[in-house]
Structure 1
Amino acid sequence: MTRVDPEVAALFDSVFSDWHATRPAPGPDLVLDRELWAVLDDLGLTALAAGAGADVWTVAELLRTAARYAVPLPLVEHDALAGLLARRAGLDLGEGIRTIARPDIAGTDPAVPWASQVDRVLVLATSPTPAVDSWFLTDLPVSDCGLEPRNDSAGQPRDRLRIEPTGDGTRVSSGLAREFYLRAALMRAVQATGALDAIIDMCVRHVTERRQFGRPLARFQAVGHLVADAAAEAALARIATDSALGVAASLDGPGADLDDFERAVAIARSVLGAVSGVVVRNAHQVHGAIGTTLEHPLQGLTRPILVWRNEFGAVRDWDLRVAEIVAGSKDGPWAALLGQ
């Protein structure tokens, strides 16, 4: 059963499919599409998480739809993270497209998403002088920061940012800083599951339409197994991610439990780490060499997934966290994983 109004979901799909039908041929490096951003902004879709009564399922649906169409926009950073942080901290961010940064004690964040192509950056940093709950939010123009443009292996901007640590800004609790990191990890899983869905659809179309030796590729048992295995793994990733989203939906209410949220996110990210390798490998096997070319849309989906699964915690980190959760339980592994 869908948790999002079907008409809202249809709106998301319509906006991105219209853009996808007329977009220019993608290059090796992604460029923020400000015209598309303006369309989303006019529709109120760039502030879903920042608005009052924000619904995590609607935000997730928007992010998944954007990922299915490989949309080059910082929706996660601007709204699902910066917008939500600002709302929780009581900040009014004003105009401009934002990203988020979490620099180290020296003021450096080595890989800030979209920093070189946005207007402002919301910085979550600790005070240079250690103190209890010494976390601060500061909204800065990107022009006030030291910037070294970089791109990751998927062509996404991941820029090195240098910020002078001052300890100024709006103080926030260490709990909110922890929640931010967990939400960021979960939003990457949400994006990845959207891309995984698109990959499965692409594989099904390819093996149905492409013929070899006088029959569709789907008629070859080995090919069918590759697609079926990929589809099963993608469904597993979505189930684990939706479970974590269910916990995230309760965080704005009374009795929010960050330990329970961390358990759910750790499981979702660990599952994604295992699943993504299978789906990406099988999809490229099904498509052959054509799927690796810049002109083919498959690589525009598989490459970001391999980046996202290692942002806000690498695959190994989340695997180890799940192992720690299981090892620390007195009631056995299933009770630990189910939060019982």
Structure 2
Amino acid sequence: MELVITEEQEALVEAVRQWLDATSDLEGARSANPGQSRIRREGLAAASAMGLLSLLRAGEGGTHADLTLVVEEVGRAATPLPIGQSALVCRVLDDVGIAADTAAGVAEGKIVAVPAQPEPGAERVAAVEQADGTLSLSGRVPLVVGGLAAELFLVPAVAADGSHFVALVPATADGLSRTVRTALDLTRDFASVTLDGVRVPSGSWARTAEGTVEALADALALHHAADAVGAADRLLEMTVQYVRERRQFGRAVGSFQAVKHHCATMALDVECARITVRAASQVLDSADRAARRAQVSSAASFAGEACSRVAGTALQLHGGMGFTWEHDLHLLLRRVKTGELLGGSPRHHRARLLDLVA
């Protein structure tokens, strides 16, 4: 397995980082109204112009490994833009063969669409096929990242007989309601989505294999881990710069051996987390279900805890400065800590790994 990124991928990362550095506004996260989304159309339009939202579509030549690199940069910039989620929505719609026009609109940044995927272990949305060709959906997805701004939700559902479906549901559909969720993370918006007998017309839903739904859940889990890696990498950079500049007892605090050891441990955690996530991203492009499940759970369990340790150490090494509202550190820490629990907690993924190898 090749873990060194190619020159083309390096160019992709550089372009995305330059764009996000120039357009991301962490200050807005401090002043944003909790009931108002920070996702902006112009941001999605720019992502579309760079080909990021259509990266996984047929003919584009992109891979999950490419998208994971992009999501790392999304986490590093702490942007609310649902770039990875939108790309996954396009991929699933193409794979199941529904809503081709909508998929094109999402890829062009004209429509905000995100997956409404219940967390592992949560009750799944129930589906009932109706005689008129519609699909009735009932259930609740407690936490949807980007759900406040979404115009469409990609909802996986299961029937009483075990059949699996994916449905594209407008946020304005009769019977659908969403509620703003207050989370530790201030850089993204969150909502819960409740479906009470929502009727999805023919052409907007499809019966699919269980593997399609599981692959979507795995991809989302890995993207949350990649997002955390990007944020942790930025925290490491901020911390190294701070301990070089902060002076105490007539010398930079970074010259003290104990501080050096902490920074070295942070760097080790970031690099190990990055390697596990990148390895798992390559398996997402394969048809090996067992390898995908094992690699994703390995990456999610390790990266979640490793990035959380990095965030905690960054806070400690910043001292009193790290506790101030005006400093960016707490925004990234909040994002990492929240991401640790999205797509399944490290404990969930370790239990899944145990089941796979037992």
Is TM > 0.5 for Structure 1 vs Structure 2?
A: yes
Which deviates more from structure 2 when the two are superposed, residues 27-36 or residues 135-144? 27-36
Q: Indicate if the aligned counterparts of 1:270 and 1:322 stay in contact, CA closer than 8 A.
A: no
Q: What is the letter of the counterpart of residue 290 of structure 1?
A: M
Q: Indicate if the aligned counterparts of 2:164 and 2:208 stay in contact, CA closer than 8 A.
A: yes
Aligned counterparts of 2:199 and 2:169: Cα–Cα separation in 1: 13
**Which residue does 1:16 correspond to in 2?**
20
Q: Indicate if the aligned counterparts of 1:50 and 1:86 stay in contact, CA closer than 8 A.
A: no
2:44 maps to which of 37, 41, 44: 37
Cα deviation, 1:233-289, whole Å, max 9, x if unaligned, reads 111111111121121122xxxxx1111110111111121233133212211111123
Shift of residue 304, structure 1, vs aligned partner = 1.1
Q: What is the letter of the counterpart of residue 26 of structure 1?
A: A
Q: Secondary structure at the match of 1:117?
A: coil
**Which residue does 2:80 correspond to in 1?**
72
Shift of residue 23, structure 1, vs aligned partner = 6.5
Q: Indicate if the aligned counterparts of 1:109 and 1:160 stay in contact, CA closer than 8 A.
A: yes
**Which residue does 2:283 correspond to in 1?**
247
Q: Find out whether 1:170 has 2:206 as its counterpart.
A: yes
Unaligned 5+ segments in structure 2 are: 106-110, 118-123, 127-137
Are the structure 2 counterparts of residues 4 and 74 from structure 1 closer, same or farther at C-alpha, using a change threshold of 3 Å?
Answer: farther
Q: Indicate if the aligned counterparts of 2:112 and 2:152 stay in contact, CA closer than 8 A.
A: yes
Q: What is the letter of the counterpart of residue 165 of structure 2?
A: F
Number of aligned pairs? 317
Q: Secondary structure at the match of 1:26?
A: helix
**Which residue does 2:62 correspond to in 1?**
54
2:191 maps to which of 159, 165, 171: 159
Cα deviation, 1:189-233, whole Å, max 9, x if unaligned, reads 111111111111111111112222221111111111111111111
Q: Indicate if the aligned counterparts of 2:312 and 2:333 stay in contact, CA closer than 8 A.
A: no
**Which residue does 1:279 correspond to in 2?**
310
1:104 maps to which of 112, 122, 125: 125
Q: Find out whether 1:298 has 2:326 as its counterpart.
A: no
Q: What is the letter of the counterpart of residue 39 of structure 1?
A: A
Q: Indicate if the aligned counterparts of 2:229 and 2:307 stay in contact, CA closer than 8 A.
A: no
Larger RCO (CA within 8 A; separation ≥ 6): 2
Aligned counterparts of 2:7 and 2:139: Cα–Cα separation in 1: 40
**Which residue does 1:26 correspond to in 2?**
29
Q: Indicate if the aligned counterparts of 1:237 and 1:272 stay in contact, CA closer than 8 A.
A: yes
Q: Secondary structure at the match of 1:27?
A: helix
1:84 maps to which of 85, 88, 91: 91
Are the structure 2 counterparts of residues 42 and 273 from structure 1 closer, same or farther at C-alpha, using a change threshold of 3 Å?
Answer: closer
**Which residue does 1:311 correspond to in 2?**
342
**Which residue does 1:119 correspond to in 2?**
151
Q: Indicate if the aligned counterparts of 2:57 and 2:91 stay in contact, CA closer than 8 A.
A: yes
Aligned counterparts of 2:270 and 2:50: Cα–Cα separation in 1: 30
2:247 maps to which of 197, 206, 211: 211
Q: Secondary structure at the match of 1:296?
A: coil
Are the structure 2 counterparts of residues 312 and 26 from structure 1 closer, same or farther at C-alpha, using a change threshold of 3 Å?
Answer: closer
Shift of residue 8, structure 1, vs aligned partner = 2.2
Shift of residue 317, structure 1, vs aligned partner = 0.8
**Which residue does 1:225 correspond to in 2?**
261
Are the structure 2 counterparts of residues 277 and 44 from structure 1 closer, same or farther at C-alpha, using a change threshold of 3 Å?
Answer: closer
Q: TM-score, normalised by structure 2?
A: 0.82
Shift of residue 131, structure 1, vs aligned partner = 2.7
**Which residue does 2:129 correspond to in 1?**
none
Aligned counterparts of 2:169 and 2:324: Cα–Cα separation in 1: 38
Aligned counterparts of 2:352 and 2:19: Cα–Cα separation in 1: 38
Aligned pairs for 1:324-339 (under 5 A) are: 324-326=355-357, 328=358
Which deviates more from structure 2 when the two are superposed, residues 314-323 or residues 215-224? 314-323
Q: What is the letter of the counterpart of residue 72 of structure 2?
A: R
Aligned counterparts of 2:266 and 2:54: Cα–Cα separation in 1: 34
Aligned counterparts of 2:268 and 2:250: Cα–Cα separation in 1: 28
Shift of residue 165, structure 1, vs aligned partner = 5.1
Q: Find out whether 1:3 has 2:20 as its counterpart.
A: no
Bigger strand share? 2
Q: Secondary structure at the match of 1:136?
A: strand
1:141 maps to which of 144, 159, 170: 170
Aligned counterparts of 2:148 and 2:158: Cα–Cα separation in 1: 23
Aligned counterparts of 2:50 and 2:165: Cα–Cα separation in 1: 31
Q: Indicate if the aligned counterparts of 2:148 and 2:180 stay in contact, CA closer than 8 A.
A: yes
Are the structure 2 counterparts of residues 51 and 304 from structure 1 closer, same or farther at C-alpha, using a change threshold of 3 Å?
Answer: farther
Aligned counterparts of 1:232 and 1:87: Cα–Cα separation in 2: 39
Q: Indicate if the aligned counterparts of 1:217 and 1:223 stay in contact, CA closer than 8 A.
A: yes
